[in-house]
């Protein structure tokens, strides 16, 4: 009974609180700008360089008349009986004379002599179309003004217009403005009018550049982080489907990525339709995120998720879909109330119930508390209960990052703990199997012994096949389609699970990072080291210093305590006509020069990753030219033995590459493989063989 009373009280408290908070909330997007103008007797607006101070927003003291008449652009026209209004046309300041889709606005402006004939920037942010006249002359157009939705073309550009004022005492700015979609925009609590900003050129350039850069960086970072985590955990789920937390969490992170991507768009949208669509998508992803976050946490707290939790998740998804198709102002209040109720319920459940796996739960609690606090703070600011602290408004995103990191740490530690437990159980099974086999041998129960051995062999075969499939899944499905490089790869393992590895990473600027590695040993342990190397490569590939990547990898591998398991690795970065590379316990890299037909052998000595923390790895840069070919390989090919116990050797590799380096990468690999098969002459392969061949396309 107490449990249900607490749930009822919690739901009632959050509902009441946020309905009260939402009362009087105004979400009209009237951006904050300074209105540095002086008004003389409510008839004339005065403008000077000192008042502008970089930029000025002119939105008050405009005279308005509905309808459309070309004579209203004439500066001599008598507009004294026109209504004085604000140009925003928000739901709360529609002119008394009404708005029916088209009208004229006029502003009488006295310009100080310091601004006469000085070039200024006119920036109009609107959701319709406009024509701007200064003293009767058309100086700027934004879209196409129309009398209907079919004839109107809303403004679709963010570029300002250059204007200047003449020496006239009374300057008249006349704006012919239309917005035939104004009813839907007002329903969304957005302004249907325009914002008229005048600024000097230098201020506008700096301000616009900084705003776009900041918004773009925020959008990229806060979208890429949860998206990367989503990919990681969906891979973990496919590897081990019973661990459903990974599936729910990956979908949660995809939702977070969608929210942040469609939230940081102010400096990129150009039409009202885009703002409506992006805003609706943000609400859609908000519902999906909250639903799967609920399922994620309950899957951690309980063995079986209660049915009512699926109902709650379905309700949040339905509200997100409703918010997408019905983007009205009330949707924000409703989704805020539902989100707060669900977050409160989750927080309550987390501290009330003992989860089925209590270890390390404090990590999730810390991240969840930070998310709850940042969301609560943002609501308090949004509903004007408190003023922003240090200018911070959009704080929920930091809570998202905190929860994402804490959840990833928790799930990773849990996944690692499960693997360790499985290893212990596997050792116990092996011990018991050995005892059983010994008892059966002594008892001469040969038939039973045969069955046990057969079952054990099937189990091991399945484990090796699973490990082989995992290793294959870790390799790139396709080589990168690079505009200036032809790439071909080849790998053949000596056992079911090999220790060789190759991978690629392409930066946004076209720079290609190529990795080729060789883990010590074969089998399951080597496959585990390859998995670690792949994770570290995708995490650190963006680093500019290759040797720094090696040191970070070494520290990470040593921290795993994998018992004498090491990773040889070569990293090569291609870009701007050069190759920068470094190696840790790997064979030389060969460069075939197209102009001379010669082969350069680049030897870089270095200890394998995971061995010595402070080893001084060497980094080299090599200039590349059209037609040059690069060969990266593991030691399985040059150290291949034939039936006479003779090694193929690196000198033969260099000679063979010199003879084939002018061919296409795939043909080069076919020649290398064929020569290796002829050399082995049927002898079983002792080590993994891997090639990565890269050729610069002819310009």
Evaluate if residue 17 carries a pLDDT over 50: no
Give the list of residues 6+ apart from residue 393 with CB closer than 8 angstroms, or none: 378, 381, 382
- Distance separating alpha carbons of residues 379 and 628, to the nearest angstrom: 59
Domains, the chain, ordered by start? 38-199 (2.60.120.260), 482-696 (3.60.40.10)
Q: If you average pLDDT over residues 370-399, what whole number do you get?
A: 73
Instruction: Name which residue leads in pLDDT, 614 or 368.
Output: 614
Give the list of residues 6+ apart from residue 146 with CB closer than 8 angstroms, or none: 102, 129, 152, 153, 178, 180
Evaluate if residue 388 carries a pLDDT over 80: no
Which residues are 104's β-sheet partners?
65, 176
- Distance separating alpha carbons of residues 210 and 658, to the nearest angstrom: 52
**The residue count for the chain:** 699
CB contact at 8 A, 490 and 691 = yes
Q: What is the DSSP letter of 23?
A: T
In the block, residue with structure tokens 């399945």? 462
Residue closest to 571 by CA, chosen among 658, 512, 643, 646: 512
Evaluate if residue 2 carries a pLDDT over 70: no
Give the list of residues 6+ apart from residue 685 with CB closer than 8 angstroms, or none: 492, 494, 636, 640
Q: Which of 224-237 are b and which e, b meaning 16 or more Cβ less than 10 Å from the residue's Cβ? A: ebbbbbbebbbbbb
Evaluate if residue 83 carries a pLDDT over 50: yes
Instruction: Name which residue leads in pLDDT, 554 or 21.
Output: 554
Q: If you average pLDDT over residues 269-297, what whole number do you get?
A: 74
CB contact at 8 A, 380 and 386 = yes
Identify the top-confidence range among 142-146, 328-332, 392-396, 462-466: 142-146
Instruction: Name which residue leads in pLDDT, 153 or 454.
Output: 153
Q: If you average pLDDT over residues 240-261, what whole number do you get?
A: 81
pLDDT of res. 471? 61
pLDDT of res. 475? 80
- Distance separating alpha carbons of residues 125 and 452, to the nearest angstrom: 78
Q: Whole-number mean pLDDT of the chain?
A: 79
pLDDT of res. 58? 78
CB contact at 8 A, 527 and 496 = no
pLDDT of res. 326? 67
Which residues are 46's β-sheet partners?
38, 110
CB contact at 8 A, 501 and 533 = yes
Give the list of residues 6+ apart from residue 26 with CB closer than 8 angstroms, or none: 92, 189
CB half-sphere exposure, 364, CA atoms < 13 A: 27
Question: Which range among 108-112, 182-186, 355-359 shows the weakest confidence by mean pLDDT?
Answer: 355-359
- Distance separating alpha carbons of residues 689 and 440, to the nearest angstrom: 42
Please give the span between the terminal C-alpha atoms of the chain, in angstroms, as a whole number. Answer: 78
Alpha-carbon Rg for the chain in angstroms: 34
Q: If you average pLDDT over residues 202-220, what whole number do you get?
A: 70
Q: pLDDT tier at 485 (50, 70, 90 boundaries)? A: very high
CA 561, 500, 463 angle in degrees (round to 5)?
70
CB contact at 8 A, 186 and 232 = no
pLDDT of res. 1? 38
Q: Is the dihedral of CA 5, 10, 15, 17 positive or negative?
A: positive
pLDDT of res. 309? 79
Give 541-593 pLDDT, tens digit per residue. 888 889 999 999 999 988 888 777 899 999 999 998 899 999 999 999 999 99
Give 420-456 pLDDT, tens digit per residue. 777 787 788 788 877 778 787 787 777 777 776 767 6
Q: If you average pLDDT over residues 220-225, what whole number do you get?
A: 78
Q: What is the DSSP letter of 578?
A: E
pLDDT of res. 200? 72
CB contact at 8 A, 686 and 616 = no
pLDDT of res. 6? 38
Both tokens assigned to 173: 């700015």
Q: If you average pLDDT over residues 46-61, what whole number do you get?
A: 65
CB half-sphere exposure, 486, CA atoms < 13 A: 18
Residue closest to 393 by CA, chosen among 233, 207, 246, 263: 263
pLDDT of res. 382? 65
Q: If you average pLDDT over residues 511-530, what whole number do you get?
A: 84
CB contact at 8 A, 373 and 389 = no
Evaluate if residue 237 carries a pLDDT over 50: yes
Give 309-355 pLDDT, tens digit per residue. 788 888 888 877 877 776 555 456 666 676 667 767 766 666 665 55
Q: If you average pLDDT over residues 15-24, what whole number do you get?
A: 36
Phi/psi region, residue 41 (left: phi>0; alpha: psi -120 to 50; beta: rest), is left
Q: pLDDT tier at 525 (50, 70, 90 boundaries)? A: confident
pLDDT of res. 179? 93
Instruction: Name which residue leads in pLDDT, 373 or 144.
Output: 144
Q: How far does CA 402 lie from the centroid of its chain?
A: 16
CB contact at 8 A, 370 and 402 = yes
pLDDT of res. 553? 92
Instruction: Name which residue leads in pLDDT, 583 or 59.
Output: 583
Instruction: Name which residue leads in pLDDT, 437 or 190.
Output: 437
Q: Is the dihedral of CA 205, 208, 214, 219 positive or negative?
A: negative
Evaluate if residue 364 carries a pLDDT over 90: no
Q: pLDDT tier at 462 (50, 70, 90 boundaries)? A: low
pLDDT of res. 391? 64
Give the list of residues 6+ apart from residue 367 with CB closer than 8 angstroms, or none: 402, 403, 404, 405, 406, 407
β-strands 83-85, 567-575 pairing: unpaired
Both tokens assigned to 590: 């060969």
Question: Which range among 4-8, 375-379, 692-696 shows the weakest confidence by mean pLDDT?
Answer: 4-8
Sheet containing strand 689-696, edge to edge, reads 485-492, 689-696, 629-633, 589-592, 599-602
Give 669-689 pLDDT, tens digit per residue. 999 999 999 999 888 888 889
CB contact at 8 A, 347 and 13 = no
Can you list the alpha helix ranges (DSSP code H) found in 443-593? 446-474, 523-540, 546-560
Give 91-125 pLDDT, tens digit per residue. 778 898 889 999 999 998 887 777 777 788 888 88
Instruction: Name which residue leads in pLDDT, 467 or 473.
Output: 473
- Distance separating alpha carbons of residues 616 and 610, to the nearest angstrom: 14
């Amino acid at each position: 009974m107490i449990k249900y009373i607490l749930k009822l009280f919690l739901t009632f408290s959050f509902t009441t609180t946020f309905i009260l908070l939402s009362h009087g909330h105004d979400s009209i997007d009237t951006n904050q700008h300074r209105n540095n103008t002086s008004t003389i007797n409510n008839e004339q607006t005065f403008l000077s360089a000192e008042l502008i101070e970089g930029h000025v927003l002119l939105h008050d003291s405009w005279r308005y008349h509905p309808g459309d008449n070309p004579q209203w652009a004439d500066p001599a026209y008598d507009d004294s009986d026109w209504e004085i209004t604000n140009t925003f046309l928000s739901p709360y300041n529609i002119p008394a004379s009404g708005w029916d889709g088209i009208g004229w606005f006029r502003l009488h402006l006295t310009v100080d002599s310091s601004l006469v004939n000085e070039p200024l920037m006119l920036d109009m942010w609107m959701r319709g179309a406009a024509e701007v006249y200064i003293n009767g002359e058309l100086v700027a157009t934004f879209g196409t003004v129309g009398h209907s939705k079919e004839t109107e073309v809303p403004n679709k550009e963010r570029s300002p217009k250059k204007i200047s004022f003449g020496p006239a005492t009374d300057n008249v700015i006349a704006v012919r403005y239309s917005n035939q979609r104004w009813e839907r925009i007002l329903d969304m609590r957005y302004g249907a009018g325009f914002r008229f900003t005048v600024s000097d050129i230098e201020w506008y350039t700096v301000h616009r550049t900084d705003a776009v850069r900041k918004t773009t960086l925020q959008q990229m970072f806060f979208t890429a982080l949860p998206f990367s985590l989503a990919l990681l955990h969906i891979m973990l789920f496919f590897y081990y489907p019973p661990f459903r937390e990974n599936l729910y969490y990956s979908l949660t992170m995809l939702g977070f990525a969608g929210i942040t991507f469609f939230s940081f768009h102010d400096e990129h949208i150009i039409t009202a339709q885009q703002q409506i669509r992006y805003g609706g998508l943000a609400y859609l992803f908000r519902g999906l995120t909250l639903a799967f976050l609920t399922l994620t946490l309950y899957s951690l707290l309980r063995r079986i998720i209660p049915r009512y939790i699926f109902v709650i998740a379905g309700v949040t998804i339905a509200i997100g879909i409703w918010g997408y198709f019905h983007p009205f102002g009330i949707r924000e209040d409703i989704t805020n109330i539902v989100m707060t109720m669900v977050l409160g319920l989750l927080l309550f459940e987390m501290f009330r119930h003992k989860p089925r796996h209590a270890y390390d739960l404090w990590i999730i609690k810390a991240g969840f508390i930070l998310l709850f606090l940042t969301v609560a703070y943002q609501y308090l600011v949004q509903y004007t209960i408190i003023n922003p602290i240090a200018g911070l408004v959009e704080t929920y995103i930091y809570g998202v990052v905190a929860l994402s990191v804490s959840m990833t740490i928790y799930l990773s530690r849990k996944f690692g703990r499960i693997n360790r437990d499985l290893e212990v159980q596997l050792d116990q099974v092996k011990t018991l199997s050995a005892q059983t086999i010994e008892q059966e041998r002594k008892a001469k129960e040969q038939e039973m012994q045969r069955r046990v051995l057969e079952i054990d062999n099937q189990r091991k075969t399945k484990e090796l096949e699973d490990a082989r499939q995992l290793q294959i899944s870790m390799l790139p499905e396709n080589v990168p389609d690079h505009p200036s490089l032809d790439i071909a790869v080849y790998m053949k393992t000596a056992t079911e699970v090999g220790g060789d590895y190759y991978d690629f990473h392409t930066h946004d600027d076209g720079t290609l990072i190529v990795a080729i590695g060789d883990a010590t040993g074969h089998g399951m342990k080597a496959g585990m080291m390859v998995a670690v190397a792949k994770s570290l490569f995708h995490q650190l590939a963006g680093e500019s210093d290759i040797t720094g990547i090696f040191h970070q990898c070494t520290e990470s591998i040593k921290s795993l305590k994998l018992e004498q398991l090491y990773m040889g690795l070569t990293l090569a970065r291609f870009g701007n006509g050069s190759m920068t590379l470094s190696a840790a316990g790997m064979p030389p890299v060969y460069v075939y020069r197209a102009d001379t037909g010669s082969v350069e052998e680049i030897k870089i000595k270095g200890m394998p990753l995971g061995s010595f923390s402070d080893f001084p790895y060497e980094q080299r840069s090599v200039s590349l030219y059209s037609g040059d070919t690069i060969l990266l390989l593991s030691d399985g090919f040059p150290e291949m033995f034939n039936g006479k116990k003779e090694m193929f050797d690196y000198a033969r590799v260099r000679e063979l590459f010199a003879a084939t380096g002018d061919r296409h990468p795939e043909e080069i690999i076919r020649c290398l493989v064929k020569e290796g098969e002829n050399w082995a002459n049927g002898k079983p392969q002792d080590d993994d063989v891997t090639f990565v061949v890269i050729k610069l396309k002819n310009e």
